[in-house]
Every structure is written in C-alpha cells, then in structure tokens.
C-alpha cells in the first residue's frame, strides 16, 4: 500500500501537521478527517473578535482552501471517526466507510466540560467552544441585553469583555473565592476583577448556580442564595476535557490525555498525537503536561510531522499563552503552578500595566505580563535558557530587565 497519513481532528494541530508533513518531504497521501463541516480555524477569536463581528468566518481560517489543494491534502469534513483498528491499520467513519492508513495522527483536541444545570437546555444557553456555538449566540446579543457568564476563567472574562464592548449588561458568576483562581496569583485576580468592574461588569465570586430559569428561552440565572439575575444570554465556561475516547478504545496509553514521548509518538510507533489531547513530558519543568494552547498545538505538530517522516527531534518548548481583554494584552510565559512567591513589577492596584513573576523554592518559573511586552519577551528567553532572576531587582523598576536575570 502506498504511504497514507490520516490526521483525525481538523484542529490547529491538524493544520500545522499537514503542512509540516509536506515541508518535511512526505510524498504520500494526507487526509484530514474532522467532525465539523469547516476548514481548520483559529479558536481564540471565537470569544473575542468573531464574537463581536470584527472578524468574518473566512478570516478565522488557519489556511485557505487553496493551501490544501496546492499541497494535495484531502479534507473529509463533517465526518466523525468511530473506530481505529491498529492491527488492520484502518479507521471507520460514522457512515461505515473504512479508510486504510500507514501512519496516523491524533489531533482530536478537547471538548467543553458540561455541567447539567437545571434549565441548561433552554434557548439562549451556550458553551463557547466551536464556531457553531458562537454563530448561534449572535441572535441573543445586542446593546442593552443582559448576559450571565458562568465561570470566571480566561474564556469567561474574555467573553465578558467582548459583550461589554457591544453594550450588553454582563454578570460573571464564579464559584471559587476569586476569578482565575486556578491559574494566577491573588494580585492578578484582584487586578482583573477591578478592571472588569471599572468596565461595568458585575462579578460575583463564591456564588453557586442553582438553576437557569425560563420558559422556552432563558430568562435568568437563579443563584444558591435565592437571588435571580436576569439574562437574555447565558454562557457556560467551566473548562474542557481532552478527546481521548478513540485512542483509549484503540489501546493507546492514556493519562489525562493521550500519552506521547518527546517525539510526539504514542505507544504505537505508527501513531502520533499533538495538541490539547496529548500528554507529554516537558524537560524544562521535568514533569508530564497536557497543555491547552495554540503554541503547544503548533509546535508539537511540527515535532509529530518530523517523527512521521523519520526525522525525530525531541520536543522541548516553553509553554506560553495570551489573553486579550479590553485594552489589556496579557502574555504568559511558563507555568506558575506550585509557586510559593510572587514578585510584582509595577502597580497592580492602579492603572493597567504590571508584571507578576512566579518563583518556586527560589527558582523563577513563570511570568504574567499585562501590557508589558519587554517583561514577557525577556522572561520567555530566560525561562527557555534556564536562567533565574533576583526577586529584589525584579521589584525595582529603576533596574533594567536585562540586569535582573542570572
């Protein structure tokens, strides 16, 4: 059989992997199978520019249709894969069709975590994950209307900023003590709470949702304290779950994602995995990670393509992320989990620009830089090269950033 690489999941990682295969010299067939009817598209703008009508559907595309034609990449869109037969090297589609492969790539991404709130089936209640979700919300948005967002993570806050931009009344409900509690220091949480309140968002923390209320259309959200917040639109953003069911059924190793080695290869040497669905060992942090970011999907897909083409190269990338809200550009380098010290450079209690530097046992591990591109870039470089920083110097803005790392 001639060489045929099938990529399951029309994601960020899929678009990169397909292009990288051709760049690395793959001459056989390439097929991308995706359950959505769309070409691979950028997801970050879904809660921002596309949400408020600043970007069109075409502008979301990672690659144009012409790119796939030019590179002889077959697209099977709107086709769900139901089974992987590793012995026969075949996949089965929902319609029963079978397709043979010589190499397989799993870029199945993640899906929203759903919580069965009473009333979550009402019209006007949405989870923000894919293009269809956002397209359907447009009929429920508009100046003067009210939205309730359940979940004070990045997606929830980005959505809140977007809805305020078009003149909606917005309330954010967070069950924990503060927004962004799982991913940031208290100072960063307090900063974002202040900014959103200044922008007119009602933020309610330590608030439990009892039910979403309404007849056929959502009318409000009833909280555990008995109060009801009026709503024309409800957005639920409480995290995602990796899509590992196909891989698990095929006998691949699973541990909070599809387990891969440093070459993005699973326990089957003919199958790679990349992106939100994969769990890999990160040599910088010396532990296994499953990352939900465009950067990881893109960089890991390049490594996976090299492996499929017989040019293995170890994956060793520093995780980085971003979030856009109002005029705030948050850039994150590294992973702050497990920090025991936070150094603030700038003033987090006033204005809209500062950086939070995270340390663990004296070692610099991450930075949250808000409207601070220099701090982000220099920290990213230092973290990648294993440098640490002097906390006292970091806190003193009279000392140049280049003089705080060693």
- Indicate which CATH number applies to the domain containing 72: 3.50.50.60
Joined tokens for residue 9:
């999941």
Q: How far apart are CA 49 and CA 358, in angstroms?
A: 30
134/222 same-domain check: yes
> What is the tally of structural domains in the chain?
3
DSSP 8-state symbol, 394: H
In a domain, 116, yes or no: no
Per-residue tokens: 147: 């939205």
* Averaged pLDDT for residues 309-331: 94
Note whether 134 and 230 are same-domain residues.
Answer: yes
Same domain, 95 and 47: yes
- Examine residue 259 and state whether it is found in any structural domain, yes or no: yes
Tokens describing residue 382 = 């230092």
What was the pLDDT predicted at 54?
85
pLDDT at position 133, please?
86
Same domain, 164 and 89: no
Q: How many other C-beta atoms can be found within 10 angstroms of the C-beta atom of residue 253?
A: 14
194 assigned to some structural domain = yes
> Are both 163 and 143 inside the same structural domain?
yes
Look over the chain and give the mean of its residue pLDDT values, rounded to a whole number. 95
Task: Kindly state whether residues 229 and 253 are assigned to the same domain.
Answer: no
Say if CB 181 and CB 187 are below 8 A apart.
no
Average pLDDT over residues 22-46: 95
Phi/psi for 59 (5° steps) reads -75, -10
Q: Are residues 157 and 8 in the same domain?
A: no
Domain ends where: 276, 308, 340?
A: 308
Query: Could you tell me if residue 120 is inside a domain?
Result: no
Q: How confident is the model at residue 276 (pLDDT cuts 50, 70, 90)?
A: very high
pLDDT at 126: 93
| Tally of residues, the chain | 406
Confidence band, pLDDT 50/70/90 cuts, at residue 49: confident
Query: Could you read off the pLDDT of 361-397 as tens digits, one per residue?
Result: 999 999 999 999 999 999 999 999 999 899 999 999 9
Residue that finishes a domain, picked among 216, 236, 256? 236
pLDDT at 304 over 70: yes
Structural domain contains residue 320? no
Q: Are residues 144 and 230 in the same domain?
A: yes
pLDDT at residue 116, rounded to an integer? 86
CATH number at residue 382: 3.30.390.30
Percent of the chain with pLDDT over 90: 87
Residue 14 shares a structural domain with residue 98: yes
In this structure, are 31 and 72 located in the same domain?
yes
**Structural domain contains residue 315:** no
Given a cut of 90, whether residue 129 has pLDDT beyond it is no
In a domain, 83, yes or no: yes
Per-residue pLDDT, averaged over 26-37, amounts to 96
Report in angstroms the alpha-carbon separations of 245 from 82, 258, 292, 301: 10, 9, 18, 20
Q: Residue 340: which domain range?
A: 327-403
Name the pTM for this structure: 0.94
Give the domain-ending residue among 253, 280, 308. 308
Decide if 160 contacts 180 (C-beta within 8 A): no
Specify burial of residue 352 (Cβ count, 10 A radius: 0-12, 13-18, 19+): middle
Average pLDDT over residues 51-74: 93
Domain check: are 106 and 248 in the same one? yes
pLDDT at 40: 95
**Is the per-residue pLDDT at 345 higher than 80?**
yes
Cα dihedral 382, 385, 391, 396 sign: negative
In a domain, 131, yes or no: yes
Using a CB cutoff of 8 Å and minimum separation of 24, what contacts does 246-251 make?
246/8, 246/81, 246/83, 246/84, 246/106, 246/108, 247/84, 247/106, 247/108, 247/273, 247/277, 249/83, 249/84, 250/83, 250/84, 250/85, 250/86, 251/86
pLDDT tens for each residue of 133-189: 888 998 999 999 999 999 999 999 999 999 999 999 999 999 999 999 999 999 999
pLDDT at 279 over 80: yes
Q: What is the pLDDT of residue 1?
A: 55
User: Same domain, yes or no, for 158 and 304?
Assistant: no
Mean pLDDT of all residues in 291-310: 96
């Amino acid at each position: 059989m001639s060489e045929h690489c099938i990529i399951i999941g029309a994601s960020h990682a899929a678009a990169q992997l397909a292009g990288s295969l051709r760049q690395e010299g793959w001459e056989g067939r390439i097929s991308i199978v995706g359950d959505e009817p769309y070409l691979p598209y950028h997801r970050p703008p879904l809660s921002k520019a596309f949400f408020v009508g600043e970007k069109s559907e075409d502008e979301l595309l990672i690659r144009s249709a012409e790119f796939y034609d030019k590179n002889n990449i077959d697209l099977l869109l709107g086709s769900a894969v139901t089974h992987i037969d590793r012995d026969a090297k075949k996949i089965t589609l929902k319609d029963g069709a079978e397709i043979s492969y010589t190499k397989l790539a799993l870029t199945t991404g993640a899906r929203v975590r759903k919580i069965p709130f009473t009333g979550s089936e009402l019209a006007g209640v949405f989870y923000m994950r894919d293009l269809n979700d956002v397209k359907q919300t447009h009929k429920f948005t508009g100046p003067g209307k009210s939205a309730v967002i359940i979940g004070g993570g990045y997606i929830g806050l980005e959505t809140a900023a977007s809805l305020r931009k078009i003149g909606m009344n917005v309330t954010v409900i967070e069950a924990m003590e503060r927004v962004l509690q799982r991913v940031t220091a208290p100072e960063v949480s307090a900063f974002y709470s202040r900014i959103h309140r200044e922008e007119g968002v009602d933020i309610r923390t330590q608030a439990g949702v009892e039910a979403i209320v309404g007849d056929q259309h959502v009318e409000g959200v009833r909280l555990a304290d008995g109060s009801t917040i009026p709503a024309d639109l409800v957005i639920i953003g409480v995290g995602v779950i990796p899509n590992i069911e196909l891989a698990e059924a095929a006998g691949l190793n699973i541990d909070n994602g599809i387990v891969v080695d440093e070459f993005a290869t699973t326990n089957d040497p003919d199958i790679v995995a990349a992106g939100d669905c994969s769990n890999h060992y990160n040599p910088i942090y010396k532990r296994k990670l499953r990352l939900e970011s465009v950067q990881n999907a893109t960089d890991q897909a390049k490594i996976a393509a090299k492996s499929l083409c017989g040019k293995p190269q170890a994956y060793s990338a520093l995780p980085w992320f971003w979030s856009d809200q109002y005029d705030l550009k948050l850039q994150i380098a590294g992973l702050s989990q497990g920090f025991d010290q936070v150094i603030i450079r700038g003033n987090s209690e006033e204005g809209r620009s500062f950086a939070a530097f995270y340390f663990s046992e004296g070692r610099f591990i991450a930075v949250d830089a808000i409207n601070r591109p220099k701090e982000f870039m220099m920290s990213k470089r230092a973290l990648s090269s294993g440098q640490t920083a002097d906390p006292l110097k970091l806190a003193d803005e009279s000392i140049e950033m280049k003089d705080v790392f060693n």
